[in-house]
Structure 1
Amino acid sequence: MVDQEKYLPVAAMRRRYDVSTRSIYRWLEDEVMRFPKPITIKNRLYFKEADLMAWEDSLRFGFPGATDKAPGN
């Protein structure tokens, strides 16, 4: 069986982190935050779930740009 990568649209990101769409775009612009880069399909952004999980882990372990907890937690 082949594992399929899961991609989340911006609407799912808003729910996941309990933030606005604008906040997600700010995170993308903030190089210190190291927020995962999305892919674009038909002018819509999609974020790879595995990249998001790795980013969340980096926040927990105090990597550069990290806070005490992941947004929305």
Structure 2
Amino acid sequence: MSERENEIMIPAPVIAKEFGVTRRTINRWMNNKAMEFPIPAEINNRLFFARSQIE
């Protein structure tokens, strides 16, 4: 198994709630290359972030 497969994956809406922002803001952060926001994994058309990349 790869390291990414062993990661705890958090869905985008949960990340948005933790940061106190909307899902749209998360999308803006992902599109802003200067922020270097982590690239999510797409699973069943949903975005998931590795917990270790968010903290």
**TM-score over 0.5 (shorter chain):** yes
Counterpart among 21, 30, 33 of residue 31 in structure 1: 33
Partner SS, residue 34 of structure 2: coil
Q: Name the count of aligned residue pairs.
A: 50
Counterpart among 20, 23, 45 of residue 21 in structure 1: 23
**How far did residue 5 of structure 1 move?**
1.6
Partner SS, residue 33 of structure 2: coil
> Which entry has the higher C-alpha Rg, 1 or 2?
1
Higher relative contact order (CA 8 A, sep 6+): 2
Matches of residues 1-73 of structure 1 in structure 2 within 5 Å?
4-53=6-55
**CA separation in 1, counterparts of 2:38 and 2:53?**
6
Percent of aligned pairs with the same amino acid: 32
TM-score, normalised to structure 2, is: 0.85
In terms of fraction of residues, the more helix-rich structure is: 2
Any stretches of 5+ residues in structure 2 without a counterpart? 1-5
